[in-house]
Amino acid sequence: MWIILALFVWFVIIFLLISLIILPFHFTFYSLLNIISAPFQLIKIAFNKVLRANHALEHATINVLERKYGYQGLAGLANEKGFVIQGAVDPYHLEKAALEGLDRLRRGEYWMAIHDRCGTSILAANFMASVIFLILLWQTGMFTLLNVLVAVFLAQIIGPVTGKLFQKFITTSLEVQNLQIMGVKYKPRAALGILGLPVPLKPREFFVQTRRASRVMLSG
């Protein structure tokens, strides 16, 4: 029994040592890949005005839901036809929040288009970690775990600020004057209850459909 335990401990130690040796090389490869792919992702969004407007409205809607109605743990994903909201929300609250968010964006409240948990902030943090690590690698010429830790630490400080700047100037847009909300769609959910009878569940995924009006529609 003790022999098996000792072998297991040695196996864990060897595995950790090998991982620590390989980690800087793996992070170097990841950094090179990320520093190439991240700008292309941002450029793809930057030139899509419809997607940027829906992305801004998605953030504004979540901000209203969280600050006004008290919802937490929501997630969203925008596309050219609208945006998805994931979480246990009341569809009525969701539609009201989307309308209020759109109105506030039209009034120029740009901060409503920014959200701390946006994927852009994660992308920015990863991108900054890659840039910092490659700079340290170029300056020191060494593949060390310390360089990885420093890069990740600094990226956690710089990343959120960079992410908000990316959101404001690249991935969202306040050009929403002719954007219209067409409605909220969702699919009913159900689970099997006693005797195999379906029990209705609250929906947890909603789609807020939008469209561009042919002429500017101002809120009154």
pLDDT digits 0-9 by tens, 83-106: 999 999 999 999 999 999 999 999
Distance CA 53, CA 42 (A): 15
Per-residue pLDDT band at 175 (split at 50, 70, 90): very high
Does some domain include residue 202?
Answer: yes
In sequence order, which residues have a C-beta less than 8 Å from that of residue 94 and are 6 or more positions away?
Answer: 61, 65, 85, 184, 206, 208
The DSSP code for 110 is: G
Quote the domain boundaries for residue 72.
Answer: 23-212
Residue 139 to residues 23, 128, 134, 190, Cα–Cα distance (Å):
19, 16, 8, 58
Number of H helices, E strands in the chain: 5, 6
Count of other CB atoms within 10 angstroms of residue 198 = 11
Does some domain include residue 220?
Answer: no
Q: Is the pLDDT of residue 215 over 60?
A: no
Does some domain include residue 2?
Answer: no
How many domains would you assign to the chain?
1
Q: Is the pLDDT of residue 220 over 50?
A: no
Helices 2-46, 145-166: inter-axial angle, 10-degree rounding: 30
pLDDT digits 0-9 by tens, 39-64: 888 888 999 999 999 999 999 999 99
Does some domain include residue 10?
Answer: no
Higher pLDDT, 217 or 158: 158
Does some domain include residue 192?
Answer: yes
Does some domain include residue 4?
Answer: no
Contact 189, 203 (CB under 8 A): yes
Does some domain include residue 73?
Answer: yes
pLDDT digits 0-9 by tens, 24-36: 656 666 666 766 7
Q: On the CB side of 155, how many CA atoms lie within 13 Å of its CA? A: 23
Distance CA 192, CA 7 (A): 47
pTM metric for this prediction: 0.77
Does some domain include residue 115?
Answer: yes
